[in-house]
Chains A and B, each alone.
Chain A
Amino acid sequence: GENVEQHPSTLSVQEGDSAVIKCTYSDSASNYFPWYKQELGKRPQLIIDIRSNVGEKKDQRIAVTLNKTAKHFSLHITETQPEDSAVYFCAASKGRSSGTYKYIFGTGTRLKVLA
Chain B
Amino acid sequence: DAGITQSPRHKVTETGTPVTLRCHQTENHRYMYWYRQDPGHGLRLIHYSYGVKDTDKGEVSDGYSVSRSKTEDFLLTLESATSSQTSVYFCAISDPDRGISPLHFGNGTRLTVT
Q: Looking at the complex, which one of A46, A89, A98 makes contact with B102 (CB distance below 8 Å)? A: A46
Q: Which of A80-102 contact B (CB under 8 A)?
A: 89, 91, 95-96, 98-102
Interface residues on B, range: 20 to 34
Whether B48 is near chain A, meaning CB under 8 Å from some CB there, is: yes
Whether B25 is near chain A, meaning CB under 8 Å from some CB there, is: no
Q: Looking at the complex, which one of B45, B97, B104 makes contact with A98 (CB distance below 8 Å)? A: B97
Do A100 and B94 touch (CB < 8 A)?
yes
Q: How far is the CB of B97 from chain A (nearest CB, A)?
A: 6
- Alpha-carbon distance A106/B37, docked complex (angstroms): 11
**Which residues in A have their C-beta under 8 angstroms from that of B40?**
9, 107
- Closest-by-CB residue of A relative to B40 is A107
- Alpha-carbon distance A84/B105, docked complex (angstroms): 20
Listed in ascending order, the chain B residues whose CB lies under 8 Å from chain A are 31, 33, 35, 40-45, 48, 50, 58-59, 90, 94, 96-108
